[in-house]
């Protein structure tokens, strides 16, 4: 029986996401035996420190990429929002699976909506993107850094350390925790992270067998949307932890609609742009919106981080 090894982080969500890709591979290729190779990442171990300034979200992918490069695995499954926009030498993105919900959700201890939280309420998030948008909307809230897996973050509510947390809807759905959501935050309030809700399968660039097996997993509309979003970040010289947001959706006539944002972490300034372009050239659209952001003053904001 032919085998295929997928390296993944050890967190419950990462394992769940790797199993999603594994099940799809098995359906597409009857007789293929897919095995998960769990690995701990630096990002999972360094829970007492903020991601910014310590390698950003790349801390979650480095060990997995090493496993690919040294031949210990045939593929790695990543949350696209964690994957750096420049591929390491020798690796490539083989597929992006159909996107789940791209947005964020609020889970509050008392089941309150965001606008109902009393002044001074402690809201936890690890993301500068979320922090800048929350602070702009509700400057009276106390936005606190929050690390750990999804269950650990939610547990801070039970311990009384926070009144609310903001998490990705897709992760909560995949873990069967959607019933905990107090409020779904629309993109008008909280523009999603680049690639949020989408899973990517990373491969060795020279592994033709893996590329052939993984290619049918790719969902072209999701691929185009995520590539447009990633082009925004890449053109800005930003990383996964920068206060940058972008969200693309398909439109009729093979076009994409893209929104993008850069904000000061304290929320005192948010720059938002939007535009449309051909789905055949998604990166061109992303680069164009990045130039609009830079023209509106995004460069000095990012340079101060």
Percent of the chain residues topping a pLDDT of 70: 93
Q: What is the pLDDT of residues 134-190, one digit of tens each?
A: 999 999 999 999 989 999 999 999 999 999 999 999 999 999 999 999 999 999 999
Where does the pLDDT of residue 57 fall: very low under 50, low under 70, confident under 90, or very high at 90 and above?
very low
pLDDT at residue 17 greater than cutoff 50: yes
Q: Which CATH superfamily is domain 3-97+199-218 in?
A: Periplasmic binding protein-like II (3.40.190.10)
Catalytic residue list contains 82: yes
pLDDT at residue 241 greater than cutoff 90: no
Q: Look up the CATH architecture of domain 104-185.
A: 3-Layer(aba) Sandwich (3.40)
| pTM (predicted TM-score) | 0.92
Question: In the prediction, which pLDDT does 30 show?
Answer: 94
Which one of 74, 82, 207, 239 is the catalytic residue? 82
Question: In the prediction, which pLDDT does 11 show?
Answer: 94
Question: In the prediction, which pLDDT does 40 show?
Answer: 82
Where does the pLDDT of residue 50 fall: very low under 50, low under 70, confident under 90, or very high at 90 and above?
low
Where does the pLDDT of residue 58 fall: very low under 50, low under 70, confident under 90, or very high at 90 and above?
low
For residue 261, CA distances in Å to 144, 202, 227, 245, 273 come to 21, 27, 16, 5, 6
Q: Three-class SS string for the chain? A: CCEEEEEEECCHHHHHHHHHHHHHHHHHCCCCEEEEEEECCHHHHCCCCCCCCCCHHHHHCHHHHHHHHCCCCCEEEEEHHHCCCCCCCCEEEEEECCCCCCCEEEEECCCCCHHHCCCCCEEEECCHHHHHHHHHHCCCCEEEECCCCHHHHHHHHHCCCCCEEEEEHHHHHHCCCHHHCCEEECCCCCCCCCCCCCEEEEEECCCHHHHHHHHHHCCHHHHHHHHHHHHHHHHHCCCCCCCEEEEEEEECCCEEEEEEEEECCCCCCEEEEEEEEECCCHHHHHHHHHHHHHHCCHHHHHHCC
Short-list 272, 125, 247, CA closest to 193: 247
pLDDT at residue 103 greater than cutoff 60: yes
Same fold, 3-97+199-218 and 104-185: yes
Rounded to an integer, what distance in angstroms lies between the CA atom of residue 200 and that of residue 17?
10
Q: Is the dihedral of CA 43, 45, 47, 50 positive or negative?
A: negative
Domain positions in the chain are 3-97+199-218, 104-185, 231-303
Give me the mean pLDDT over the 50-69 stretch. Answer: 70
Question: In the prediction, which pLDDT does 270 show?
Answer: 97
Where does the pLDDT of residue 42 fall: very low under 50, low under 70, confident under 90, or very high at 90 and above?
low
Question: In the prediction, which pLDDT does 48 show?
Answer: 52
pLDDT at residue 53 greater than cutoff 80: no
Domain at 231-303, CATH class: alpha beta
Where does the pLDDT of residue 43 fall: very low under 50, low under 70, confident under 90, or very high at 90 and above?
low
Q: How many beta carbons lie within 10 A of that of residue 212, not counting itself?
A: 11
Question: In the prediction, which pLDDT does 252 show?
Answer: 87
Indicate the average pLDDT of the chain: 93
Rounded to an integer, what distance in angstroms lies between the CA atom of residue 197 and that of residue 20?
13
Where does the pLDDT of residue 299 fall: very low under 50, low under 70, confident under 90, or very high at 90 and above?
very high
pLDDT at residue 92 greater than cutoff 70: yes
For residue 12, CA distances in Å to 19, 85, 203, 256, 274 come to 11, 25, 22, 33, 35
Question: In the prediction, which pLDDT does 117 show?
Answer: 97
Give me the mean pLDDT over the 68-96 stretch. Answer: 94
Where does the pLDDT of residue 59 fall: very low under 50, low under 70, confident under 90, or very high at 90 and above?
low
């Amino acid at each position: 029986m032919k085998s295929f090894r997928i390296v993944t982080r050890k967190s419950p969500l990462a394992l769940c996401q790797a199993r999603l890709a594994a099940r799809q591979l098995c359906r597409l290729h009857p007789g293929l035996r897919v095995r998960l190779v769990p690995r701990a990442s630096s990002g999972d171990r360094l829970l007492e420190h903020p991601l910014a300034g310590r390698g950003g979200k790349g801390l979650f992918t480095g060990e997995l990429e090493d496993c690919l490069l040294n031949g210990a695995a045939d593929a790695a499954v990543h949350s696209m929002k964690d994957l750096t926009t420049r591929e390491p030498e020798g690796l490539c993105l083989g597929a992006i699976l159909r996107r789940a919900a791209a947005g964020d959700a609020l889970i509050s201890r008392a089941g309150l909506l965001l606008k109902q939280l009393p002044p001074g309420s402690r809201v936890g998030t690890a993301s500068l993107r979320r922090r800048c948008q929350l602070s702009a909307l509700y400057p009276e809230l106390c936005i606190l850094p929050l690390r750990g897996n999804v269950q650990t973050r939610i547990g801070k509510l039970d311990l009384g350390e926070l009144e609310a947390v903001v998490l990705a809807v897709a992760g909560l759905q995949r873990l069967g925790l959607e019933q905990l959501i107090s409020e779904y935050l629309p993109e008008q309030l909280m523009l999603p992270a680049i690639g949020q809700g989408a899973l990517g399968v990373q491969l060795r660039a020279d592994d033709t067998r893996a590329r052939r097996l993984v290619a049918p997993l790719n969902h072209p509309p999701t691929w185009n949307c995520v590539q447009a979003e990633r082009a925004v970040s890449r053109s800005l010289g930003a990383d996964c932890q920068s206060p940058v947001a972008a969200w693309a959706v398909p439109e009729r006539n093979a076009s994409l609609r893209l929104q993008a944002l850069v904000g000061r972490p304290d929320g005192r300034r948010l720059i938002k742009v939007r535009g449309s372009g051909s789905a055949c050239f998604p990166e061109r659209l992303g680069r164009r919106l990045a130039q609009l952001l830079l023209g509106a003053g995004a460069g000095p904001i990012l340079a101060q981080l």
